[in-house]
Amino acid sequence: MDETTRKRTTKKAVCCPVVYGSIAFALGKKGDEFATHKWTLFVRGPSGEELSYFLAKVVFKLHPSFSQPIREVTEPPFEVSEKGWGEFEAAIRLHFKDPTERPVEVSHVVKLYDGVSPQLATRPVVSEVYDEVVFTEPYEDFYDALTSKKTATSPKGGHPLGEHFGRFDDAKDVEIMLKVSEYVPPA
């Protein structure tokens, strides 16, 4: 569609929640000095939902020591996996279905260690951040895609690493606030 014929919404904003992060598994005896961990750097929905309704691609910029440090992922799952021995800061650039929306870049440290000896580690190291992308007065067609009830679906069977991911929903927060309110005297 030609930009001259597209119309922007007025006084509307849409908030799209995202989670980005990494998960690392110690390889133990299967590893060597250059590959002590297998890790995955990812962008996902807070409850595992698929984000391709507004994401066109995600570009991951890894440490320059990797043979191909820039990885472009154009379909879900938006993630890259590698083996390595050291932690590093990666750049993650989110590109949107509407190319007139500027990409958003965040950075994330790929964490391999949590203070436990890699030989003793039995659980993965998960490091993730909840964030929100806000589209202010998006074009009407993009607004429709962002607000469609069909958009935020979870992949069938869930993500293979889903059992390790954090849960980002308001239910726990509401429960805590209700319990706290029992102890706060009315004003």
**So where are the chain's domains?**
13-181
The architecture CATH gives domain 13-181: Sandwich (2.60)
Higher pLDDT among residues 182 and 139, named by residue = 139
Q: Would you state the structure tokens that stand for residue 110, as one six-digit string?
A: 């790929």
Q: What percent of the chain has pLDDT over 70?
A: 79
- Is 48 within 8 Å of 162 (Cβ atoms)? yes
Average pLDDT over residues 63-71: 96
Taking only the tens place, the pLDDT of each residue in 111-134 is 998 876 555 567 899 999 999 999
Q: Tell me how far apart the alpha carbons of residues 121 and 114 are, in angstroms, rounded to a whole number.
A: 9
Neighbouring CB atoms inside 10 A of 156's CB total 5
126 or 171, greater pLDDT: 126
